[in-house]
Chains A and B, each alone.
Chain A
Amino acid sequence: MAHDSTHTNQSATKRIWYVFMLLSVVTIVEVVLGIFKPAFLVQTDILYMHLLNWIFIILTVYKAYLITWAFMHMEGEKKGLRRSVVWTIVFLVCYLVFILLAEGVYIHDVFSNGFVTWNF
């Protein structure tokens, strides 16, 4: 629960609307970028992905942070609870994503190096 909600109703609701505004702005930025797809962001590649996709992912993680911290009151919970939930997920998801995506890239290479015909 938010610390300040016990003091005044005003500040708690103010924070909720502020976070909503942040979430909206980030979503609008994502949609605008997704529709126009600026050429320089699509053509620059960092670590197997377009820069644009990295921007989308970073903005998504930022939105996830806002929802978890502000709406789910993670900011008001004990450190132990916060860490046991967030670190577990972050660690396991990073591991899973790394394993699966690396494997996907490998299979793509097998397909494109000509030993398997699949375009017929």
Chain B
Amino acid sequence: MEATVAQTGTEGKTWGGGNKPLGASYGKLMMWFFIASDALTFSAFLAAYGFSRFKFIDSWPIADEVFNHFPFLHGVDAPMYYVALMTFILIFSSVTMVLAVDAGHHMNKKKVTLYMFLTIIGGLVFVGSQAWEWKNFINGTYGAVETRGGQILQFVDTDHERVALADFAKTLPQDRIEHQPSNGVWYDADKQTSASFTVEEITKGFEANPNILVRIQQLDENGKKIVLSREASLAKLKNDAVTTVEGANLTNNEYGPPLFADFFFFITGFHGFHVSMGIILNIIIFFNVLVGTYERRGSYEMVEKVGLYWHFVDLVWVFVFTFFYLV
């Protein structure tokens, strides 16, 4: 124990943090305090997600259908593989971090440097992966139509495979004039003109293709989305559809309830922010290791403290992974 605690000139001074009531140094204890409070913040977010999930339990998007991209595999349905890879990257960077801490116990500067470097690389790869995941989520794949009540109507063929709007929508010879800032006091681009197809074009295309059906958000008893009959599909599209939705933002998304995208952006964004901060902290500590700060101090406890934070970020991801992608 003694060998790992930094001698910072505050020994014996209670308010300087010299006392070690729980056998841990002041710095480590404060890191645990921070982690405990941060864990409660994340729990609150995830519990709020669970609240919305239970509220819409029979119409929530199916994660496998939303997150099914993998780099260089275009159009291939690869549910979960990518996010599993991201999980491995983060767990592995946690392993290199704990190896750095262990090397620090043995005052092995070379090994600490190497492992800290690997940890930083792992963190950067993870944040990059998350950015790619966001890009896919924001761009969307198939596109959908939103009803007056905010319900999402998706399109499938007779085998219940998803169909993209571009595959059947007609391009009507109508003038779609972009709203110009000069024509209004407030520049407010109309949703209809910014989408690739108008609802009329989708409806016309739908009428011309008898093998396309509408899929609604409600789940049947097997956990599959309900597909309407051809007649019901037509009626639904003609009576209720108001806007085209492509991809996701904070107000609508093509996957289902707006809350789904809101929580996704907020929770994974907040976690990504934590990872980014962790990378910055790791880089600072890495340079301190390089210039020999901890070698002179006679203890690598700082690596241990930043390591605690890094493991915590990994821990949060384990929960995000379960509740966003698995459950």
Contact = CB atoms under 8 A, between A and B. Distances in A.
Nearest to B29: A81
A6 B327 CA distance: 41
A45 B44 CA distance: 25
A17 B41 CA distance: 30
A23 B79 CA distance: 21
B51 interface: yes
Given A96-B47, A108-B55, A20 B315 contact: no
Given A24-B91, A81-B24, A103-B51, A34 B326 contact: yes
B84 A31 contact: yes
Interface stretch (B122-130, B171-179, B244-252, B306-314): B306-314
Interface in A80-114: 80-81, 84-85, 88-89, 92-93, 96-97, 100-101, 103-105, 107-108, 111-112
Contact of B47 (A30, A101, A112, A118): A101
Query: Taking each of B43, B44, B54, which has the highest tally of chain A beta carbons within 10 Å of its own beta carbon?
Result: B54
A101 to B, nearest CB: 5
Contacts of B35: 85
Given A96-B44, A104-B55, A81 B319 contact: no
Nearest to A79: B22
A96 B43 contact: yes
A68 B147 contact: no
Nearest to A117: B149
A6 B50 CA distance: 43
Contacts of B29: 81
A51 interface: no
Nearest to B1: A1
B43 A92 contact: yes
Contacts of A5: 102, 105
Contacts of B56: 108
B53 interface: yes
Interface string B9-45: 0000000000001111000010010011001100110
Interface string B63-83: 010000000000000011100
Interface residues of A, number: 59
B40 A35 contact: no
B191 interface: no
Interface string B286-322: 0000000000000000001001100110110011011
A103 B35 CA distance: 28
A56 B79 CA distance: 17
26 contacts: A1-B4, A6-B3, A16-B98, A17-B95, A20-B92, A27-B91, A34-B64, A34-B326, A35-B80, A59-B322, A60-B318, A60-B319, A63-B318, A68-B315, A78-B22, A80-B22, A81-B32, A96-B43, A97-B43, A97-B50, A105-B54, A105-B57, A112-B58, A119-B216, A120-B151, A120-B240
Interface of B: 1, 3-4, 21-24, 29, 32, 35-36, 39-40, 43-44, 47-48, 50-58, 64, 79-81, 84, 87-88, 91-92, 94-95, 97-99, 102, 105-106, 147-151, 216, 218, 223, 240, 304, 307-308, 311-312, 314-315, 318-319, 321-322, 325-327
